[in-house]
Structure 1
Amino acid sequence: MSRIEHNMAMTGDSPASISGKQKLATGLGLSGLFILALALFNVNFPNKTLFLSLALGLITIGTIIFANDAYLGKHQGINNNGVWFKSTTNRGLWGWVAGIALTLFYVVLYWYPQYLGLNPDGANTGIIALFDPLSRLINGGPASQWFVYGTLYTLAILIFGYKFILKYRHNRYEVLRTFSVMFFQLGFAFLIPEILIRLNKPYYDFKNIWPLNYDLFAGYKIQEFLSAGNLGMFMLIFGVLSIFVITPILTYKYGKRWYCSWVCGCGGLAETAGDPYRHLSDKSLFAWKVERWVIHSVLVFVTVMTIAVVYSFLGDDSQSYWLTKDVFLWASALLLTIVFALIMIFKRDELAKDAKYGAISYFAIIMAIIGINYFSGNYKIFFFDGYQLRQWYGFLIGAAFSGVIGVGFYPIFGSRVWCRFGCPMAAILGMQQRLFSKFRITTNGGQCISCGNCSVYCEMGIDVRAYAQKGENIVRSSCVGCGICSAVCPRGVLKLENGSRKNRIHNEESVMGDNMDLMDLIKQSSK
């Protein structure tokens, strides 16, 4: 007897439900989460070490079994089947539930840690107490909400990184960069800072560079560095060199991908745990315009805040300090002026009209505020106390934007909301990549079939297909060089390259299969 086919879509039916083994794996993972939930509601486990190991172990084992069954034993290649049919990845009911749950978790984490069991004046309770044994093992003290968060954050990158590696195991670039973010998160972001605390040294994440590490030049942090001897001085010098030497050199050679896709923890979580949501990013022109204004406004905010914080820390006596308030203020103004002048003199042709207006406006505002405060004798630079600005930045950007919105809204707006709209580090690297880097994504327009996979799975909201159809190089400041657009392309149209800067943006030799002699191009390239 024939079966009636109700679905008239060319793509066929929605994917079948998960397999029995995947259901078992899901049950194991949920069991681990259930133990953490019980701890959250103040269930006092008799053996915290055992139950913490059980919870994290069940989550890990469940994820590994699920990933193995989903990808191993199947043909290698991209498998994004059904992402638009699943409630969790298509802004359906379960997607909203997940988003709300993540958002509430971040709200409690940042502003109400006492509900997680944090007790600064006594023994911890709740879920934080469950992590006390692990905390004492690594840093020698009781857990804090940040240790709990760091542990779960690192675990998420590791287990979902394993899943990501299986999914993209045919692509060497994706495998290598995923191992890289797993290594940097586990070693540099989690273990090394905690071990430094155990050794009574300043907490320091060597891969967390200003302006992401906006506390680097805070007075209390400077005092920590100075009191820690040679190691503290090394940390401070390394932090400064990272800004002015290491970052520009690596970005010139490799683009911002060296950091955003190979090192950064925010990018690491977005690429691993956030991979199922990458297609939800907004590709509209309006979103692109909003993105550019918002992210560069955040960069101006953190620059102003940092100048104000350092200014408030310095003294006025030139006999006692070579770096006085006035010297620092005018040195900052001079540095910003030089950067602005160099860009406008040598790179203005590579800037869009709104980018030029924005750069001029931001520069004029900062210079005006510096001048007004200097000539008025107001010791509170930028009209506010530097540490008050730092508190506002920490609340609005460091907590609300990067955490609550940046991660909590994964299932709604995609996995790179923070990286795309709010990260000041991404803004700096983006400017360097757009104007000074050798990195670009080249396109072979003659091979493009306009399937749209590249645009759909670009987590930064770039309409990659529009560039590919024209055979135009992709040199966008927002591009993090994750390489997924190239990985999902069925025709090999896209290629990540580090080449000559000549004609990098305005490429006059667009490769279009219908308007050129390929043999002539090969002969010209071989000369």
Structure 2
Amino acid sequence: MALENNMALTGQPPKSLNTKQKIGVVIGMVGLLILLLATFNVELFSNGLVLTIALSALMIGIIVFSKGAYDHKLEGIKNDGVWFKSISSRGVLGWVAGVALTGFYIILYFYADLLGLGQGVDGANTGLIRLFDPLSYLLSGNPASQWFVYGVLYTIAILGFGIKFLMKYKHNKYEQLRTVSVMFFQTAFAFLIPELMARLNSDTFSLPYNDLKNMWPLNYYAFDQWRVDQFINAETIGIFFLVLSVAMVFLVSPWLTYKYGKRWYCSWVCGCGGLAETAGDSFRHLSSKKLSAWKIERWLIHTVLVFSVIMTTAVIHSYLGTDTSKYWLTKSNFLISVGTFLTGIFALTMIYKRQELGKHARYGAIGFLIVIASLFVMHYTGTTERIFFFKAGAMRSAYGLYIGSIFSGVVGTGFYPILGNRVWCRFGCPMAAILGFQQRMFSKFRITTNGGQCISCGNCSTYCEMGIDVRAYAQKGENIVRSSCVGCGVCSAVCPRGVLKLENDSLKGRINPNDILLGNDVDLMTLVNQK
């Protein structure tokens, strides 16, 4: 019997893949090989059958690999050994995966012709995109595009790695429910329903592609003129979706965030978060916990939010009229409404939440003043064609290119194996910034801690994908109320002592930097009775 020399509770990590995992890898590679051959225009046989085999191989490969990894493991913490694997410790395989993902996104966004988009006779698809034509015709009645290919692969990734996540956290009901939720919303609301709705379109009726769970500002083109015009032209159903878009931003989202925190969207509904939590789970520990990273995160994500607010306001302003006898919502009325709304939010926050903001209040004031100043400039320089002396279409295209494509797609997903799975959510998502503000200021959500039980193992901080030093809060018994927290609950799932608990309670006493629970320093029963 071999002598175990290390003191680790989990023992040494496996030195190689077991037989079942190797079989899973081989099956998955068959699926990838088929897709690669199709990219180079290698014809096998029926596209529909080949696509079915390829996608099935990818799904089956992930599932078989996952069963090999977790079938015979006891329930409990499953993140042991991640720093010993090349793919998840910024090793050679990690960098190869990062380069491959980044390269795929660059080709998808900017060089779709290399994938065969419209490269055949009379504009027909060839290559990889042609392989997806049968499925696209089945769902929407249209030939495939690079975005359809992306949507299919995106959904397969969330479903396959979602099953892997379910096996990994089989001991935790919260993680199971959350994962099933993101799998459902991606498959139904983001993929199947919009594709099936495309069948409603005809020569006289056109409804734009509409991801039912995607809202402004994450959906940065939500109120572009072409999109609004299509909604209006689609009459009843189009008006419904347009009103729903507005209601989601100003009514539904704030209420749900007040009740449950930003986790209702970021960890239960959002497609970006869904991919991060499933396909990106193996890289969650790579998120930087440095103070410098936190400072960059706050400045960058709120800068994107301010830019998003200004750009959306400017685009709507550019296509509104000025004649009050013809339009009830004119350019001036719109800017006044936006300024009044933002001033009201800023005033209420300063009056009721200034102490909680502390020194960060002045940063919020700077952002507010930038937006208000931009509204004034917009009023005096904006026309139907130009915003801030620039072409309106060019500015929106630039925003879509740099924020929507490069940051969200190429960097946000391609850098999973290098910077962690929530790069976009931490540093660039304006939706996360808005929900984070609401969560920090006006939500009932918090993660409570029991400092007397904490053994400072560090699992919670290590596996926090948002870069929060959870252990620092747990050691003091301080509630965790952070705008960046997405409520994924993994910190609680990997805690060996049950120190952390996700709760929705009253706003009173939610932030408790002075009431710390260290052993017997305070009367715990007194605090419990005060609840």
- Shorter chain as denominator, the TM-score bin is over 0.9
Give 5+ residue unaligned stretches, structure 2.
Answer: 202-206
Letter matched to residue 259 of structure 1: Y
What does residue 151 of structure 2 align with? Answer: 150
What does residue 17 of structure 1 align with? Answer: 16
Q: CA 1:268 to 1:500, structure 2 compared with 1: closer, same or farther past 3 Å?
A: same
- Aligned counterpart for 1:369 among listed residues 364, 371, 374: 374
What does residue 314 of structure 1 align with? Answer: 320
CA apart distance, 1:158:
0.4
* 1:269 maps to 2:275: yes
SS at match of 2:446: strand
What does residue 423 of structure 2 align with? Answer: 417
The normalised TM-score by structure 2 is 0.95
Structure 1 Cα separation of the partners of residues 382 and 245 of structure 2: 31
Alignment of 1:473-488 (within 5 A): 473-488=479-494
* 1:359 maps to 2:364: yes
What does residue 285 of structure 2 align with? Answer: 279
Q: CA 1:525 to 1:347, structure 2 compared with 1: closer, same or farther past 3 Å?
A: closer
What does residue 227 of structure 1 align with? Answer: 233
What does residue 193 of structure 1 align with? Answer: 194
Structure 2 Cα separation of the partners of residues 280 and 21 of structure 1: 27
CA apart distance, 1:500:
1.0
Letter matched to residue 101 of structure 2: L
What does residue 67 of structure 1 align with? Answer: 66
What does residue 288 of structure 1 align with? Answer: 294
Deviations 1:498-521 (A, max 9, x none): 001112113554332231234444
What does residue 460 of structure 2 align with? Answer: 454
Deviations 1:23-68 (A, max 9, x none): 0110000011000011111112331011101111111111111111
CA apart distance, 1:377:
7.0
Structure 1 Cα separation of the partners of residues 337 and 73 of structure 2: 60
CA apart distance, 1:375:
4.1
Mapped contact 1:308–1:385 kept (Cα < 8 A) = no
Mapped contact 2:77–2:496 kept (Cα < 8 A) = no
The normalised TM-score by structure 1 is 0.96
Structure 1 Cα separation of the partners of residues 424 and 377 of structure 2: 33
Alignment of 1:95-494 (within 5 A): 95-119=94-118, 122-200=123-201, 201-353=207-359, 355-375=360-380, 380-494=386-500
SS at match of 2:80: coil
Mapped contact 1:455–1:485 kept (Cα < 8 A) = yes
Mapped contact 2:310–2:374 kept (Cα < 8 A) = no
Structure 1 Cα separation of the partners of residues 437 and 311 of structure 2: 20
Structure 2 Cα separation of the partners of residues 475 and 189 of structure 1: 30
Alignment of 1:26-105 (within 5 A): 26-105=25-104
CA apart distance, 1:319:
1.2
Q: CA 1:236 to 1:81, structure 2 compared with 1: closer, same or farther past 3 Å?
A: same
Structure 1 Cα separation of the partners of residues 170 and 496 of structure 2: 16
Structure 2 Cα separation of the partners of residues 64 and 373 of structure 1: 54
Structure 2 Cα separation of the partners of residues 414 and 511 of structure 1: 32
Letter matched to residue 74 of structure 1: K
Mapped contact 1:226–1:233 kept (Cα < 8 A) = yes
Mapped contact 2:459–2:491 kept (Cα < 8 A) = yes
Q: CA 1:521 to 1:323, structure 2 compared with 1: closer, same or farther past 3 Å?
A: closer
CA apart distance, 1:372:
3.0
Letter matched to residue 325 of structure 2: Q
Mapped contact 2:382–2:388 kept (Cα < 8 A) = no
Q: Which moved more, 1:252-261 or 1:35-44?
A: 35-44
SS at match of 1:88: helix
Instruction: Work out the number of aligned pairs and report it.
Output: 522
CA apart distance, 1:357:
2.2
Q: CA 1:338 to 1:519, structure 2 compared with 1: closer, same or farther past 3 Å?
A: closer
Structure 2 Cα separation of the partners of residues 372 and 209 of structure 1: 27
SS at match of 2:123: coil
Q: Which moved more, 1:8-17 or 1:128-137?
A: 8-17
CA apart distance, 1:444:
0.2
Structure 1 Cα separation of the partners of residues 184 and 3 of structure 2: 52
SS at match of 1:451: coil
Q: Which moved more, 1:386-395 or 1:426-435?
A: 386-395
CA apart distance, 1:235:
0.2
Structure 2 Cα separation of the partners of residues 68 and 401 of structure 1: 34
Q: CA 1:221 to 1:520, structure 2 compared with 1: closer, same or farther past 3 Å?
A: closer
CA apart distance, 1:415:
0.3
Q: CA 1:85 to 1:377, structure 2 compared with 1: closer, same or farther past 3 Å?
A: closer
Structure 2 Cα separation of the partners of residues 373 and 13 of structure 1: 62
Mapped contact 1:305–1:386 kept (Cα < 8 A) = no
Structure 2 Cα separation of the partners of residues 497 and 268 of structure 1: 22
CA apart distance, 1:451:
0.1
CA apart distance, 1:387:
2.3
What does residue 501 of structure 2 align with? Answer: 495
What does residue 204 of structure 2 align with? Answer: none
CA apart distance, 1:162:
0.5
Mapped contact 1:431–1:477 kept (Cα < 8 A) = yes
Letter matched to residue 357 of structure 1: R
Mapped contact 1:181–1:265 kept (Cα < 8 A) = yes
Structure 2 Cα separation of the partners of residues 159 and 497 of structure 1: 30
Structure 2 Cα separation of the partners of residues 381 and 50 of structure 1: 50
Letter matched to residue 364 of structure 1: L
Q: Which moved more, 1:501-510 or 1:344-353?
A: 501-510
Letter matched to residue 311 of structure 1: H
Letter matched to residue 356 of structure 1: A
Q: CA 1:333 to 1:487, structure 2 compared with 1: closer, same or farther past 3 Å?
A: same
Q: Which moved more, 1:66-75 or 1:268-277?
A: 66-75
Letter matched to residue 26 of structure 1: V
Structure 2 Cα separation of the partners of residues 14 and 82 of structure 1: 5
SS at match of 1:497: strand
Mapped contact 1:251–1:429 kept (Cα < 8 A) = yes
Structure 1 Cα separation of the partners of residues 74 and 477 of structure 2: 30
Letter matched to residue 434 of structure 1: R
Q: Which moved more, 1:16-25 or 1:381-390?
A: 381-390
Structure 1 Cα separation of the partners of residues 494 and 182 of structure 2: 21
Q: CA RMSD in A?
A: 1.8
Letter matched to residue 96 of structure 2: V
Deviations 1:328-351 (A, max 9, x none): 111111111111111112211111
Structure 2 Cα separation of the partners of residues 469 and 50 of structure 1: 56
Letter matched to residue 113 of structure 1: A
SS at match of 2:82: coil
Structure 2 Cα separation of the partners of residues 463 and 175 of structure 1: 24
Letter matched to residue 104 of structure 2: F
CA apart distance, 1:464:
0.1
Q: Which moved more, 1:96-105 or 1:10-19?
A: 10-19
Give 5+ residue unaligned stretches, structure 1.
Answer: none
Structure 2 Cα separation of the partners of residues 147 and 67 of structure 1: 27
CA apart distance, 1:215:
1.2
Q: CA 1:521 to 1:342, structure 2 compared with 1: closer, same or farther past 3 Å?
A: closer
Mapped contact 2:158–2:279 kept (Cα < 8 A) = yes
